[in-house]
Amino acid sequence: MVAIVLLESSLTETSFSIAVLTKNNTNPAYIGARVGIDRMIEHFGCRAVHYVPRRPDDVGEQITLVSKALDRIPDAIIMCPTHPTRLAGAIQSIEASGTPLFFFVSETDISPAVSCVGSDDEALGHAMAWRLAVHLEGRGAVAIVGGHPDAATSAPRTKGFLRALETFPGIEVVTQCRGDYQRDTAYTAFSKALRSISDLDGVIVANDFMALGVLDALTQTGRQVPVVGANATPHGIELIKTGRMIASAAFDAMSMGALAVEAAVRTLRGEKVPARIELPVKLVDQTNLSDWDCDYSFRKTVPWETAISQHPQARSNMESLA
């Protein structure tokens, strides 16, 4: 288990200590999330301790890290859970401690969190698959590479993929495999899947990091087909620029992390925050990649007021809390 101290701001009268639990150190989306979190931590003059499992997405390690975080008695906990149900005991211990909990990216099925910042994963998956189907003019053989079965984002994204493709009778899903949101795992799984299919016209991949592995497998077998990914990572944007991917859904984990920090700080200051903040689905392609074509350290995060105004439920909640 590892607890990584990435940022310790100087103490002030209003300084808060925030424990941050993410899922892994491999997926670039979580690297971006921690950049957004640390930027807001510094902005508000808080202190943060990051806790990351050594083994990506390991539920047992994250349970242990919750205990380690609580031992330090933080003012708040910001968390991206590794599983929607298997963390129940750890979540109960957070609730019993009285520490305010804030989820981002995903949440547990039973949630005592003050607020969760995320996106509509089914809508995101639908937009991705629709984009590929339109690119293929409604005809062709398509492969789907899904995420980790423990991740709350995986099933709704796949549901969105399939729901969109049902609209196109000329599209056939010829194979589905899981890449666990990791490049190497996706490469291995997709390489195996490619051996059993002859026709392939496009691939829908549940994140950009796996898309790198999928493209490795395609290159190795001499195939070149359009690929759609998600997260709009710097690597994903580069793949779009070079034509190796046609689009990436902007699941903006960096902004989600930053907004979770702001929700925590506002709560600790005695303000009311909406129970859910949902960022809208955006597709990034050759026509609009300029805002995303930079490293995470140079990217802007969605401001609080914009996030609230873009999500009707959050706006309604804030109006009722006023």
What stretches of the chain show up as alpha helix (H) in DSSP? 28-43, 59-71, 88-97, 121-135, 154-165, 183-194, 208-220, 234-241, 253-268, 304-310, 312-321
Cα 214 → chain centroid: 19
Q: For residue range 175-218, list pLDDT tens digits in order.
A: 999 999 999 999 999 999 999 999 999 999 999 999 999 999 99
| Domain 121-249 is found in CATH 3.40.50.2300 | yes
CA-CA distance, 57 to 52, in Å (whole number)? 9
pLDDT recorded at residue 211: 98
Q: For residue range 4-31, list pLDDT tens digits in order.
A: 444 444 344 468 999 999 999 999 999 9
Q: Give the domain ranges of the chain.
A: 3-120+252-281+300-321, 121-249
Closest CA to 245 of 218, 222, 220: 218
Task: Summarize the confidence of residues 42-56 as an average pLDDT.
Answer: 97
Q: Are 3-120+252-281+300-321 and 121-249 in the same CATH fold?
A: yes
Question: In which band, very low, low, confident or very high, does the pLDDT at 251 lie, cut at 50, 70 and 90?
Answer: very high
Residue 311 has pLDDT above 90, yes or no: no
The two tokens of residue 306 are 């914009």
Task: Summarize the confidence of residues 289-317 as an average pLDDT.
Answer: 86
Question: In which band, very low, low, confident or very high, does the pLDDT at 91 lie, cut at 50, 70 and 90?
Answer: very high
Local structure of 307: helix, strand or coil: helix
CA-CA distance, 116 to 260, in Å (whole number)? 7
Q: For residue range 58-71, list pLDDT tens digits in order.
A: 999 999 999 999 99
Cα 240 → chain centroid: 19
pLDDT recorded at residue 310: 84
Closest CA to 84 of 152, 167, 141, 2: 152
In CATH, which superfamily holds the domain spanning 3-120+252-281+300-321? Answer: Response regulator (3.40.50.2300)
The two tokens of residue 293 are 């074509």
DSSP calls for 254-293: HHHHHHHHHHHHHHHTT----SEEEEPP-EE-TTTGGGT-
CA-CA distance, 36 to 288, in Å (whole number)? 22
Question: In which band, very low, low, confident or very high, does the pLDDT at 321 lie, cut at 50, 70 and 90?
Answer: low
pLDDT recorded at residue 322: 53
Contact 160, 126 (CB under 8 A): yes
pLDDT recorded at residue 12: 44
pLDDT recorded at residue 125: 98
**What is the average pLDDT value for the chain, to the nearest integer?**
93
pLDDT recorded at residue 313: 64
Local structure of 203: helix, strand or coil: strand
CA-derived radius of gyration, the chain: 20
The two tokens of residue 201 are 């016209």
Number of Cβ atoms within 10 Å of the Cβ of 68: 15
Number of Cβ atoms within 10 Å of the Cβ of 223: 12
Number of Cβ atoms within 10 Å of the Cβ of 9: 17
Contact 35, 296 (CB under 8 A): yes
